[in-house]
Structure 1
Amino acid sequence: MSRSHRLLTLLNQLEQALNALSLWQVAPPTQEKLMSSEPFAIDTLSPIEWLQWIFIPKMKWLIEQQQSLPSGFAISPYFEEAWKDRGETQAILLLLNQIDEVCA
């Protein structure tokens, strides 16, 4: 299985996991909030919003456009810290760790 295909599968599973926990949002944040230049848009978006409205769409776009995928990043440490008191997010954290491995 190619790296792109594996990543797309994980992104779809991430989307499903967010839906299963009723964390998937219907209405997007304002355009102003999406334009943050801070890592993870920490100044304007919640971790869930960043995943849903920035990370997942950007990664899927790169895959669909057959662009080179970023590598050498790790997003799971941010989410592990942000959700350290939220046990219900363990399935999401597992998927984020797998995404980190694919993009290592």
Structure 2
Amino acid sequence: MSYSGKSGGSLDQYSCLADIILELEKELRDLGLWESEAPSEESLASQAPFCVDTLNFTQWLQFVFTERIKWIIESEAPLPTSSGLVPMAEEYFVVAASTSQGIIKILREFDDLIARTS
């Protein structure tokens, strides 16, 4: 039996999201991409998609994306209706030349979960 929260999302969906976020955090740490200090409030307040004008993609993942998804999980807020993180990640990591397959795999899991719940 699946419990539906306030948003109509099941606890299983929130649990899957939590697992994905934990995996992403671990991967960022393992690759040395996790930052100990947050960017300025001004940088985080950017209106550009992915805060591309003030943050790099991994900073956006850490300080914007993961925090937003944690809030959604804790609040049982509605899940996003679409997600397309993988193309952005693939583009960023081509330019950044980082070892990124783990991050891209995790973001693909997120995109797939959101696609299934829409």
TM range (shorter): over 0.9
Q: Which residue of 2 aligns with 1:88?
A: 99
Trace 1:23-102 onto structure 2 (pairs within 5 A).
23-84=33-94, 86-102=97-113
* Displacement over 4 Å in runs of 4+: none
Q: Provide, for residues 23-50 of structure 1, a one-character-per-residue CA deviation record: whole Å limited to 9, x for no partner.
A: 1000000000000001000000000100
Three-state SS of the structure 1 residue aligned to 2:43 is helix
Find the counterpart in structure 2 of residue 6 from structure 1. 16
Q: CA deviation at 1:96?
A: 0.5
Identity of aligned residues (%): 33
Question: Which stretch shifts more, 80-89 or 2-11?
Answer: 80-89
Q: Residue in 2 aligned with 1:22?
A: 32
- Secondary structure of residue in 2 paired with 1:88: coil
> What is the TM-score of this pair, normalised by structure 1?
0.95
Quote the Cα distance in structure 1 between the aligned partners of 2:12 and 2:33: 29
- Separation in structure 1 between the aligned mates of residue 57 and residue 48 of structure 2, nearest angstrom: 12
Distance of 1:71 and 1:14 partners within structure 2: 20
Cα RMSD after superposing both structures: 1.2
Q: For residues 30 and 81 of structure 2, what CA distance do their matches in structure 1 show?
A: 28
Q: What displacement does 1:71 show?
A: 2.0
The structure that has the greater radius of gyration is 2
Unaligned runs of 5+ in 2: 1-10
